[in-house]
Chains A and B, each alone.
Chain A
Amino acid sequence: MSARAWLLSDMPGSRRQASLGQWYRNWLSFKGNPLAMTGLAVVVFLVLVAILAPILPLQSPTAQALADRLQPPSAAHWFGTDELGRDILSRIAWGARITLTIVIMVVVIVVPLGLLVGTVSGYVGGPLDIVLMRVTDIFMAFPRLVLALAFVAAIKPGLESAIIAIALTSWPPYARIARAETLTLRQADFVKAARLQGASPLRILWNHIVPLCTASVVVRMTLDMAGIILTAAGLGFLGLGAQPPLPEWGAMISTGRDYLLDQWWVATIPGLAIFVVSLGFNLLGDGLRDVLDPKRS
């Protein structure tokens, strides 16, 4: 029996076969969506560039060569050079590491926090639910960029503050989603059965409810990543994100702004990088939603 037939079998012989089969079916339906595949390709490319930046044959992202400043794109510098003669291609590649770091760090903070608040709020209910949801509303009501601005200003501009500020403003939707899912699951028969068997609330939450929230949370997360990238770039552009000489894309646009009229590439190319990467995440998220959460697309 071929692997494909085994995976697509209507009568899986084991739990593992059933779950792998489900993954495979999802993959097949994902693969049929060219836009989603494009998104996946962009994201994979971003990750590869970010990981491989140190060993790729690139010039140093920080070495200055004032004799070569503001060179237009050429064979030696595919994307030209900036105001200090640094190779823009290399800075874009190294900047991918910063972008990816921000995205991953924000997600690592936000998803567990949102899941925790949402599932506990939905499962326990009562006054705790009201309090937690009120807090969520307050954070949700705060305009994202403005809160991040005030927060970054209050500590000090930099990569870490930017990450914390974005995380602080990004978790409420996850709590909302997790709570909504929990409310529908709380009265489900299998949860009641687990409760009758004497499972503790913690065990029910962790083993039964959290896994079922994952699909919606993953979809939301992928769609959110573009927003995170854009906010981070916005903070960088305003001079409140990663600080020079770090090759952060938003900060690169901000310095390129002074040369926009005569040396368009300095500002335009990092902007294109941000756009392509955000679009990649959005296409991927859109495709994932079609596969994992068909009722909402």
Chain B
Amino acid sequence: MVLNGGRGGGHHRLLVSGVAYELLRFAAMLALTLLGLIFITFLIGRVVPIDPVLAVVGDRASAETYARVREELGIDLPIHQQFWLYLGKVVQGDFGTSVITSQTVLHDLRQYFPATLELATAATLIGVLAGVPMGVIAATHRGRWIDHVTRIVGLVGYSMPVFWMGMVGLLVLYSWLDLVSGPGRLDIAYDGLVEPVTGLLTVDSALSGDWDVFRNALSHLVLPAGLLGYLTLAYISRMTRSFMLGQLNQEYILTARAKGVPERRVVWRHALGNIMVPLITVIALSYASLLEGAVLTETVFAWPGLGLYITRSLFNADMNAVLGGTLLIGAIFVCLNVFCDMLYRLLDPRART
């Protein structure tokens, strides 16, 4: 995904060196997009039919308390001043206090984020390790059965309602066959045995050498991560295939073959090496969308991550928590997006002209 840059700015390079200019441009782009993101969440927060004062003070508060909090929150100020107020708080990491957990939203997000991170990382690993080779092989065997299988595997992945597959997966693999553990991240018996270091249970338990906990965490992780991994695989294998097809038609491939370079080297070193930059972009974007796409999966698997946090807050009219979570996911998304763009333009000289 190449953002619209690339035009103009040529003469600025005379003043600032190329790389520094690029970095500056990306920083400006990042800031602008984040600002837009904050503005939209602010707007959403404004149209909510929930009295924000009541949400803070509760319905038994006296009229004075109500009036004081109302003034503190700045509800009576003109809308642009309210936005500045909101912006100032968000920049300092102050998303307000969650009504249901009565902790600051930032504290909650720190608690819930590692679970989502663990799930998304595991899924991406599965998707990349299986998806890239599948895509490469499909491209080198274009039109043969293995290509069709890859195509169908991909289309099925695109068409699957993940929450439903999760339910069916739990029914079959957990209730009937008892091959994996059920919802949640750990059995209750293992809860709190491992000191959180990274917050990723599999990593923490491995670090402390507590293999019982590790096995248990893994058996909880395998089904949701497998499902999301399959979705990732569907996407990555198709993108890899189409990138590879673009390379395999090029003349340098023909040259390499004519020189007698072994076919395996031509495919896995020359062609695959040349698609690395766009491929990394695709992988990073799918990783970012997993952090979001996990909302439904987390609901089905009672996985205590960001998605579950946001939906649960939603049903309790806890708008601070909802908007804080939305903002965090959005910001990660934006950062990864800009990072990919930057990577693209710094590593691939063709994209820079």
Contact = CB atoms under 8 A, between A and B. Distances in A.
Interface of A: 35, 129-130, 133-135, 137-138, 140-147, 149-151, 153-156, 226-227, 230, 233-234, 237-240, 250, 253, 257, 260-261, 264, 267-268, 270-271, 274-275, 278-279, 281-283, 286, 296-297
B242 A130 contact: no
A261 B171 contact: yes
Given A142-B37, A150-B326, A282-B159, A271 B164 contact: yes
Given A129-B4, A261-B171, A271-B161, A138 B47 contact: no
Contact of A133 (B4, B171, B326, B334): B4
A138 B36 contact: yes
Given A143-B329, A279-B155, A234 B161 contact: yes
A134 B32 contact: yes
Interface stretch (B77-85, B258-266, B271-279, B290-298): B290-298
A133 B29 CA distance: 11
The 9 closest A-B pairs by CB, nearest first: A143-B292, A271-B164, A138-B36, A278-B159, A279-B159, A141-B334, A133-B4, A154-B48, A274-B161
A151 B47 CA distance: 9
Contacts of A138: 33, 36-37, 40
A141 B33 contact: yes
B263 to A, nearest CB: 24
Contact of A143 (B160, B296, B299, B333): B333
Contacts of A227: 158
Contacts of A146: 292, 295, 310, 325-326, 329-330
A264 B172 CA distance: 11
A176 B302 CA distance: 37
A148 B151 CA distance: 30
A149 B295 contact: yes
How big is chain B's contact interface, by range? 35 or more
Contact of B155 (A150, A239, A283): A283
28 contacts: A138-B33, A146-B310, A146-B326, A147-B330, A149-B310, A149-B311, A149-B326, A151-B44, A153-B322, A154-B45, A226-B158, A226-B159, A227-B158, A234-B163, A234-B296, A238-B299, A239-B315, A240-B314, A257-B167, A260-B171, A267-B164, A268-B164, A271-B165, A271-B167, A275-B160, A279-B155, A279-B159, A296-B242
Of the candidates B4, B152, B161, the one having the most CB atoms from chain A within 10 angstroms of its own CB is: B161
B175 interface: yes
Chain B binding surface SS class: helix
Contact of A153 (B3, B32, B48): B48
A260 B167 contact: yes
A147 B326 contact: yes
A238 B348 CA distance: 43
A253 B323 CA distance: 27
Interface of B: 3-4, 32-33, 36-37, 40-41, 44-45, 47-49, 151-152, 155-156, 158-165, 167-168, 171, 175, 242, 288-289, 291-293, 295-296, 299, 310-311, 314-315, 319, 322-323, 325-326, 329-330, 333-334, 337
Nearest to A130: B4
A192 to B, nearest CB: 20
B156 A279 contact: yes
Contacts of B159: 226, 230, 275, 278-279, 281-282
Nearest to A250: B161
Contacts of A144: 292
Contacts of B37: 138, 141-142
A282 B45 CA distance: 36
Nearest to A297: B242
Contact of A253 (B167, B289, B319): B167
A150 B48 CA distance: 9
B161 A145 contact: no
Contacts of B33: 134, 137-138, 141
A230 B292 contact: no
A206 to B, nearest CB: 24
Nearest to A144: B292
A275 B36 contact: no
Given A129-B4, A135-B36, A150 B323 contact: yes
B164 to A, nearest CB: 3
A239 to B, nearest CB: 8
A260 B296 CA distance: 17
Contact of B322 (A150, A253, A297): A150
A283 B158 CA distance: 10
Contacts of B299: 237-238
Contacts of A296: 242
Contacts of B310: 146, 149
A137 B3 contact: yes
A227 B164 CA distance: 15
